[in-house]
Amino acid sequence: MTSLPWLTILMVVPLVGSIIVMLLPRDRDVLPKQVALGFALLTLVLTVVMGLQFDADATAPFQFVESYPWIPALGISFSVGVDGIGLVLVALAATLVPVVILAGWNDVMPGSGRSVKGYFALILILQTLMIGVFAATDVFLFYVFFEVMLIPIYFLIGRYGGADRSYAAVKFLIYSLVGGLLMLAALIGLYVVSVQQLGQGTFDFAALVGLDIDPNTQKILFVGFFIAFAIKAPLWPFHTWLPDAAKESTPATAVLLIGVLDKVGTFGMIRYLLPIFPAASEFYAPLVVALAVIGILYGALVAFGQKDMKRLFAYSSMSHFGFIALGIFVFTTWGLSGSTFYMIAHGLSTAAIFLAAGFLMNRAGGSSLISTYGGVNKVAPVLAGFFLFAALSALALPGLASFIGEFLVLLGTFAVNVPVAVIATLGIVITAGYALKLYQKVATGPPSPAVEGMSDLRGREITTLAPIVFLTILLGVFPAPVLNVINPAVERTLEVVGVTDPPSVIPPIVQGSAP
Amino acid sequence: MTPDVMPAPSIDYIALLPYILVGAAGVIGVIVEAFVGRGARRPIQLVLVFGSLIGAFVILVVNRATQGIQAEGALAIDGPGILFMGLILLLSILVALLMAERQLDPAGDAFAPRASALPGSEDERELTVRGYFQTEIWPLFLFSVFGMMLFVTASNLLVLFIALEIMSLPLYLMAGMSRRRRLLSQEAALKYFILGAFSSAFLLFGIALLYGYAGSVEFSAIADALAAEPGQTALVVGGTALLAVGLLFKIGAVPFHAWVPDVYQGSPAPVTAFMAAAVKVAAFGALFRVMYVALGGVRWDWEPLLWIIAGLTMLFGSVVAIAQTDIKRMIAYSSIAQAGFILIGVSTATAQGLYASIFYLVAYGFTTIGIFAIISMVRLSGGEVTRLDQWAGLGKRSPVVATSFAIFMFALAGFPLTSGFIAKFLVFESALAVDNLGLVIVGVIASVMAAFFYIRVVVIMFFREPVEGAPAAAVPSATTTLALAISVAVTVILGILPEPVINLIEQAGVFLR
């Protein structure tokens, strides 16, 4: 442990970067990108340095804790700290931001009338907010990050996206605001309960977990938080904004949106719903499990029928979010560890597929229609190879990170509810179907007119994808470091909920996942 | 037998100094209009206005500990009263900055050179050509501010009524003084006057009924009568309802809101800012005092009524605003919706609700003035451009102005890190503290709908390509710039560091009676 305010530093560095990028002269096109990349890499290095000091066996729930009074009159403080779950998600954000900056190097062409530096400044601001939302240990602070995050992503979609960007941006914002305001009402309700029980209101996470909230009140407040998270993550039936937002975003924005931001929803379920509303969580668990399973199957089936690649990825993600929610609400260590691991794996997988597809689309004038493409592997074999890898990662091929996540979730589900586990497994089969069908249509067969003469990946693009591929394989064959970090936090969460794993016939097979 | 000698009323002139300063400055302003040459009027009026407003504010702050019932029970200078007065003075200073603007309109300021000249007549054109300006608006403005200060501290029903009239009559005139689109402006003034006169009559009728019940017009006497005789009579119920109608009219609450859109649209932008910010503060101040002090004994009767009105006001304002194509009308409906949120605080009948509402008024008041400052800046040669679709691409041509406007929109929508968020938070909290979940849910629904049209303005400014012949924001003089800068600063600072203001408001204590 160290006394450096690590998390604040991690938030301040990208913020400073974004301000510097904004202050750069208007006519420089490359400099803003270089500065933004520099700050993003600096943040990544700092995150790694911080992560190495994380003590997985510590007894304190949160590490790198800082707390400063903010609005004492309302019991609000600027408090940050991470447990294992928070740490890996901060790391995910820190990893993906430099990747998308590099991938989005030419997203904004000079002379398009859109500001180059604005694009990269928004990405850096978003990074500050993403780190903040995963690090906050004050629920009010979390809410502020949760809501303010909408604004940069709204501008990223609305200013830099595709033809229908304005519609998609507004739809995204309105959906998110509905959730956000319901959460606000529930948050205030929680505050009022804390006033009644403690004599003075607080938003401190630990204090709120310690409250003894009447089950009926829990049920009401749970709904407010849950809908906000379910819209964010998106679960069926709160998902309809996602395909539009994904389609109209640039690939870089889509990676941040689906890869990181949407994880805030599932992260919120683990961090806030389960510990603060344990009784309500158990009460609503069957409902959430049902929504999750519907989402798994519905997302996969609808993805099968998509003609547009980006929409396909969006529905596929929705199906995967179903897995994550399922793992959370079966209340087993395997399930919860699996969900957390899957959040990371899905972030990487999303980055791989959106960026590979993005590079492909850039070469064909930006069309995201699947029918535009064919025979890419003959013309651009390296690109097709990455595309195949991304598709395999999406269908959770054993040996890749997403397999570990999906497998643990199903294992955890199987231990408590066999029928649900069986139905959810069907989703994997369908996923394999559409992922391979997509690859087949895009990459095999005779090259289509749009594909002919296509250049293969260049150095910058390979540099972008390589780290993701590397991490996906590394975590797929050697998940222990991440699981070791996650598991104490997972066990602590389940302890608070008051659930113990059912006796199982399945021995712990993944290192570190033993209950 | 000696005739009864009427005892001289005891008046503490020191305590009344802020009122005297503003009122006297208004009177002097009238004299200046009559006796001073045309050229010298404006500088003198400006000195009078800013001198009296700033002076009154300073005295108020210095003398804040001098509280009590003053002027033979006519005025209650107490913590909340001082807060309301201080806020009215601050907002009025900003409005005066907007009114003093002379650079935006090529013909001069925002006001008709002579209000009596027929619109479009030869007479009017000549006045414009000769560069006449009208300065009568300044004393009118001061009288209105004077009326507001009385209105929020009135401690008996007659003073309340007189204050209402002092506040309103100049406003009717000011509404009709727009230099551009004068017919619309005069229509607004007439509409405002007729409906305002109606509402005054309601208020007066309510006063009569309450007097009939309590035998006194003093708030404290009415409260005592209610306490002594809890069984309510038709007089109390009727009086309360009619009094509420009169006050809710000024607030612009549904179903007494019909005047708001037309009057906001037709009036000159600085006057609209005055009505939307300061008048609303004054009306809420009076509503709070009447409901909490005089009629607290029958709060079980008016609470549910206010819940319904608050809910309707929020929903109606938000829904109708969505369909607006004119920015002034949109802001008008938005201000109706915002009034509904503030009414949530009133309807709790708790000190917490009072503090939440005051914070909301602070946040809303400054944001609103900023909004109208920008509306007055976005113009073509024919005057302000208020058609929303003509604002397309403003973010590209005037990025600073458009960003400021976006901040205001996000604040009204209640986004975190803006004043509007903390305001909404406090108001919802005050309602949940009295277990009024229903009203909060209605508030959340209304907020979502309202967010839609606030965001739409941002979309139009930033995501749309500019249309042919679209306006850019004109460069204003230092006064408007200052008012705008203060509005932006308050909106952001109250969102990030609201603590000092929250503490200040909560130290105000309760109403005196």
Residue B396: both structure tokens together: 């590209």
For the stretch B311-330, pLDDT in tens is: 999 999 999 999 999 999 99
B98 within some domain: yes
Q: Tell me if chain A has a CB within 8 Å of the CB of B235.
A: no
Per-residue pLDDT of chain A (515 residues; tens, 9 = 90+): 457 899 999 999 999 999 999 888 877 778 888 999 999 999 999 999 999 988 888 888 888 999 999 988 888 999 999 999 999 999 999 999 999 999 888 887 766 667 888 889 999 999 999 999 999 999 999 999 999 999 999 989 988 888 888 889 989 988 998 899 999 999 999 999 998 888 888 899 988 888 888 889 999 999 999 999 999 988 988 998 999 998 888 889 999 999 899 999 999 999 999 999 999 998 999 999 999 999 999 999 999 888 898 999 999 999 999 999 999 999 898 999 999 999 999 999 999 999 999 888 888 887 888 888 888 888 888 989 999 999 999 888 888 999 999 999 999 999 888 999 999 999 889 999 999 999 998 888 888 888 888 888 888 889 999 999 999 999 999 999 899 999 888 888 888 877 766 655 455 555 544 44
Measure the CA dihedral B431/B433/B437/B439, to 10°.
Answer: -10
Q: B322 in contact with A at a CB cutoff of 8 Å?
A: no
Q: Is B428 in contact with A220 (Cβ distance < 8 A)?
A: no
Sorted by sequence, the CB contacts under 8 Å of residue B236 that are 6+ apart come out as B209, B210, B213, B226, B298
3-state SS of B198-220 is HHHHHHHHHHHHHHHHHCCCEHH
Mutation test of the interface with chain B: which of A192, A219, A225, choosing the one with the most B Cβ atoms within 10 A?
Answer: A192
pLDDT score of B2 more than 70: no
Residue-wise DSSP of A230-253: HHHTTPTTS-THHHHHHHHS-HHH
Residue A312 distance to chain B (closest CA, Å): 26
Does B11 reside within a domain? no
Assess: ipTM above 0.90: no
Q: Any chain A CB within 8 A of the CB of B414?
A: yes
Q: Which residue has the tokens 């158990």?
A: A282
C-alpha separations of A492 from A62, A406, A497 in Å: 11, 22, 9
Mark yes or no for CB contact A185/B428 under 8 Å: yes
Minimal Cα–Cα distance from B448 to chain A, Å? Answer: 6
Q: Name the residue facing A158 among B428, B463, B502 (closest C-beta).
A: B463
The answer to whether residue B1 is domain-embedded is no
How far does the CA of residue B444 sit from the closest CA of chain A (Å)?
6
Residue of A nearest to B465 (CA): A113
Pseudo-torsion of CA B357, B358, B362, B364, nearest 10°?
20
pLDDT tens across A153-170, in order? Answer: 998 998 888 888 888 998
In tens, the pLDDT along B392-408 reads: 888 888 889 999 999 99
Contact B372, B270 (CB under 8 A): yes
Residue of B426, B447, B453 to mutate, interface with A, max A Cβ within 10 Å: B447
What is residue A109's predicted lDDT score, i.e. its pLDDT?
74
CB contacts < 8 A (A, B)? 80
Query: Is residue B356 situated within a structural domain?
Result: yes
Rounded distance, CA A205 to CA A376, Å?
A: 51
The Cβ of residue B99 has, within 10 Å, a number of other Cβ atoms equal to 27
Domain assignment of residue B403, yes or no: yes
The answer to whether the CB of B85 falls within 8 A of the CB of B153 is yes
| The pLDDT of residue A494 | 87
Please tell me the distance in Å from A286's CA to the nearest CA on chain B: 26
Kindly report the nearest CA distance between residue B423 and chain A, in angstroms: 12
Which of B400, B424, B436, B455 should we substitute to test contact with A (largest number of A Cβ atoms within 10 Å)?
B455
For chain B, how big is the Rg over CA atoms in Å?
A: 22
Query: Which pLDDT value is given to residue A515?
Result: 40
Closest by alpha carbon to B169, among B193, B153, B194, B199? B193
Contacts of B443 in chain A (CB under 8 A): 185
DSSP code string of B400-412 = HHHHHHHHHHHHH
Torsional class of B318: left (φ above 0), alpha (ψ -120 to 50), beta (otherwise): alpha
Per the prediction, chain B carries an average pLDDT of: 90
Cβ contact B378:B385 at 8 Å: yes
Q: Does A191 contact B429 at a Cβ distance shorter than 8 Å?
A: yes
Classified as helix, coil or strand, B374 is: helix
Q: Quick one: which of B317, B329, B314 has its CA closest to B440?
A: B314
Q: How is residue A253 written in tokens?
A: 């924005």
Cα B350 to Cα B347: distance, rounded to the nearest angstrom? 8
Token digits for B245?
Answer: 């109608």
Assigned token pair, A58: 């510590």
Contact B502 A71 (CB under 8 A): yes
Residue B104 lies in a domain: yes
Q: Is residue B5 part of a domain?
A: no
Of B440, B459, B462, the CB nearest to A185: B440
Whole-angstrom distance, CA of residue A59 vs CA of residue A101: 37
Q: DSSP string spanning A147-215?
A: HHTHHHHHHHHHHHS-TTHHHHHHHHHHHHHHHHHHHHHHHHHHHHHHHHHHSS---BHHHHHT----H
- Asked if the C-beta of B416 comes within 8 angstroms of chain A's C-beta atoms, the answer is yes
Measured between CB atoms, does B448 come within 8 Å of chain A? Answer: yes
Nearest Cβ partner of B429 from A155, A169, A188?
A: A188
- Tokens 């007479």, located at residue: B123
Who among B410, B455, B503 is closest to A73 (CB)? B503
Residues in A closer than 8 angstroms to B440, CB to CB, are: 185, 188
B425 in contact with A, Cβ within 8 Å: yes
pLDDT of A458: 87
Q: Which of A74, A166, A185 sits opposite B463 (nearest CB)?
A: A166
- How confident is the model over A346-381, as pLDDT tens digits? 999 999 999 999 888 888 887 888 888 888 888 888
Judging contacts by C-beta atoms under 8 Å, the chain B residues touching residue A139 are none
Nearest-neighbour CA in chain B from A322: distance (Å): 27
Cα separation, A276 vs B429, in Å, equals 19
With CB atoms and an 8 Å threshold, state whether B414 touches A173: no
Task: Check residue B216 and give left, alpha or beta (phi > 0: left; psi -120 to 50: alpha).
Answer: beta
Contact list, B425 vs chain A (CB under 8 Å): 74, 184, 188
- Which of B425, B427, B435, B460 should we substitute to test contact with A (largest number of A Cβ atoms within 10 Å)? B425
Closest to B308 in 3D by CA, of B417, B123, B438, B449: B438
DSSP code, position A65: E
How near does any CA of chain B get to the CA of A177, in Å?
Answer: 7
Q: Is residue B511 part of a domain?
A: no
Cβ B215 vs Cβ B156: under 8 Å: no
Helix A150-160 with B437-463: angle, nearest 10 deg:
30
Q: Which residues does chain A have within 8 Å of residue B463's beta carbon, measured at their own beta carbons? A: 158-159, 165-166, 169
Under DSSP, the state recorded for B64 is T
Domain range for B303: 17-506
Question: What is the per-residue pLDDT for A111?
Answer: 65
Domain ranges of chain A: 6-497
Out of A144, A166, A174, name the one closest to residue B452 (CB). Answer: A174
* Residues in A touching B506 (Cβ below 8 Å): 73
**What's the structural domain count of chain B?**
1
Query: Cα torsion for B335, B337, B341, B343, to the nearest 10°?
Result: 80
Q: Is B456–A170 a contact, with Cβ atoms under 8 angstroms apart?
A: yes
Q: How far apart are CA B275 and CA A198, in angstroms?
A: 43
| B505 → chain A, closest CA residue | A73
For residue B497, what is the nearest residue in chain A, using CA coordinates?
A71
